[in-house]
Amino acid sequence: MTNEPFFPFLRSILPFLGKGALMTVELTIISVGIGVIIGIFGGMARVSRNPILLVPSTIYVEVIRGTPLLAQLFLVYFGLPSLGINLPPFTAAVIAMGINSGAYVTEIFRGGIQSIEKGQMEAARPLGLSYLQAMRYIILPQAFKRILPPLGNEFIAMLKDSSLASTIAIAELMRVGREITSRTFRSFEVLTVVALLYLAITLPLSLLVRYAERRMSVSD
């Protein structure tokens, strides 16, 4: 197997790498999904004047952004068991990555909300809309349109960072690649293919974001 020509070799490893890539995508979608849910509320908390919302959300963002994702991942997977909380690898990974992503998405939403002219909120309130209704129907839809590009970037960044989950025994793309390498010793070829597979996912994604941007700008 080690001196097999490249293309037959590629054909033999591709199904495994494909499965790994699928896991990578799954991990990323769920994590960023959690991140977006956290981010919507986090973003609103970050623009709030109420310290009960503002202070915890600010601490959350600073702590998460200021510490490595790998440390967060290990804390959830290896650290929590000593408190009696044992999580399966996949659950631990999406919790750590979701919370991590949430901090970045919070800042994305904060920026998006603040970029909407003050007049939009001012026009909404005299109509009898509550602050939350105005957020939901007026501010967030417009903010969402503007944050689509950074949100796309966050997704791409998280997709690449999900390779860290290989360290806690999740059979995602990077992990599968390293397993094949250790079996075949064809590091250069395998890791190049792994890198290209990441690219094959992120590239269409950037195009999709660009397309969505254009679609959503009808009202501009």
Partner 1 sequence: MIRLEKIYKRFGKLEVLRGVDLNIEKGEVVVIIGPSGAGKSTLLRCINLLERPTSGRVIFEGIDITRMDGRNIDKVRERIGMVFQHINLFNHLNVMDNVILAPMKVKGLSRNTAEQIARSLLERMGLGDKLYAYPSQLSGGQRQRVAIARALAMQPDIMLFDEPTSALDPEMIKEVLDVMKALVNDGMTMVIVTHEMGFAKEVASRIIFMDDGYIVEEGTPKEIFSNPKEERTAMFLSKILY
Residues making contact with partner 1 (CB under 8 A): 117, 119-120, 122-131, 133, 137-138, 141-142, 145, 218-220
- Residue 207 CA to residue 150 CA, distance in Å, equals 13
Cβ closer to partner 1: 76 or 139?
139
**CA distances, 167 to each of 74, 82, 93 (Å):** 9, 19, 10
Shortest Å distance, C-beta 214 to partner 1: 15
Cβ closer to partner 1: 138 or 209?
138
Buried b (16+ CB within 10 A) or exposed e, 171-206: bbbbbbbbebbeebebeeebeebbeebbeebbeebe
Cβ closer to partner 1: 49 or 82?
49
**CA end-to-end span of the chain, whole Å?**
58
Shortest Å distance, C-beta 50 to partner 1: 12
Shortest Å distance, C-beta 217 to partner 1: 10
Shortest Å distance, C-beta 122 to partner 1: 6
Backbone angles phi, psi at 4, to 5 degrees: -60, 145
Cβ closer to partner 1: 61 or 134?
134
